[in-house]
A = this chain, B = another copy of it.
């Protein structure tokens, strides 16, 4: 059975999880709107035997579909790589393309060793990530106020504006201890930021959102409530923005932004990029 030429199967082959290659392939392939890609991730290909199994799957796919599959690889072992490359496919070798120019430029050989991943569970950076995830969970939604002194950043904003997913992403990806704290109607009546936040003003970052989007999000959770009404959302967003502006707290609208984009902006504005040093 021949598939359409604009339906293509993409194999992601790695001796590790393949997550880096998968993310990268998404990014490159999103530049080809007119093609429909079906992705197959084949992780932990760390022996010649597994490589031979992979070759069989790629070749069967090539025959079934009547066109060459696309193969992204991050394989550091050259024997495994050369075995995989015997398959009938277009190979995009992510390491091959960059390791050699780096070797020349740096004047040292790469270690070509499997399992040298930056994700290694034994690294300090990894332990920091897990600790930060636990921190973010413990400091979600204004819980456990005492720990705010340890936070790298405290996200503030109205309920359901995106604070929790952003805190978790910052923790998981960067090991940043991100707490979050809701701004609620009582704060607007009192017309000040919650007093517990005042000592930490230098590490506050405000998230805001269009009321029209907020009412959608809140309605998914509590349909037809005052809490979810457009009037209430408009009121809360306007008040929260006013409080944040008055105290010169940096602010970002999350309406059309992904957690990756929000997190990147937070890190830039709060000066947390130091965490990405390694």
Binding site for B on A (CB under 8 A): 5-6, 8, 16-20, 22-24, 26-35, 37-41, 43-44, 68, 70, 74, 76, 90, 92, 94-95, 97-99, 101-102, 105-108, 110-113, 116-122, 126, 129-130, 133-134, 137, 140, 164-165, 168-169, 172-173, 256-261, 263-265, 268, 273, 276-278
Nearest chain B CB to A15's CB is how many angstroms away? 11
Which B residues touch A18, using CB under 8 A?
Answer: 264
Cα separation A130 to B169 with both chains bound (whole Å): 11
Could you list some 19 contacts between A and B, CB below 8 A? A17-B264, A19-B23, A26-B118, A27-B118, A31-B111, A32-B108, A33-B116, A35-B108, A37-B278, A39-B277, A41-B264, A44-B265, A92-B102, A121-B256, A121-B258, A133-B165, A168-B168, A168-B172, A169-B172
Closest to A173 in B: B19
B168:A108 contact, CB within 8 angstroms: no
Contact of A99 with B28 at beta-carbon distance under 8 Å, contacts A133-B168, A256-B122, A264-B19 already known: yes
B258:A113 contact, CB within 8 angstroms: no
A119:B70 contact, CB within 8 angstroms: no
B277:A38 contact, CB within 8 angstroms: yes
Which B residues touch A38, using CB under 8 A?
Answer: 277
A40:B99 contact, CB within 8 angstroms: no
| Known pairs A31-B113, A43-B264 / 16 extra A-B pairs, C-beta < 8 Å | A5-B106, A8-B106, A19-B173, A19-B264, A23-B24, A27-B117, A28-B95, A33-B116, A41-B276, A121-B257, A122-B256, A133-B165, A134-B165, A137-B140, A137-B164, A165-B172
Contact of A110 with B70 at beta-carbon distance under 8 Å, contacts A17-B264, A133-B168 already known: no
Nearest chain B CB to A181's CB is how many angstroms away? 17
Which B residues touch A110, using CB under 8 A?
Answer: 31-32
Nearest chain B CB to A149's CB is how many angstroms away? 19
Which B residues touch A137, using CB under 8 A?
Answer: 140, 164
Among B44, B70, B102, point to the contact of A264 (Cβ < 8 A): B44
Nearest chain B CB to A98's CB is how many angstroms away? 5
Cα separation A121 to B252 with both chains bound (whole Å): 15
Contact of A41 with B273 at beta-carbon distance under 8 Å, contacts A18-B264, A164-B137 already known: yes
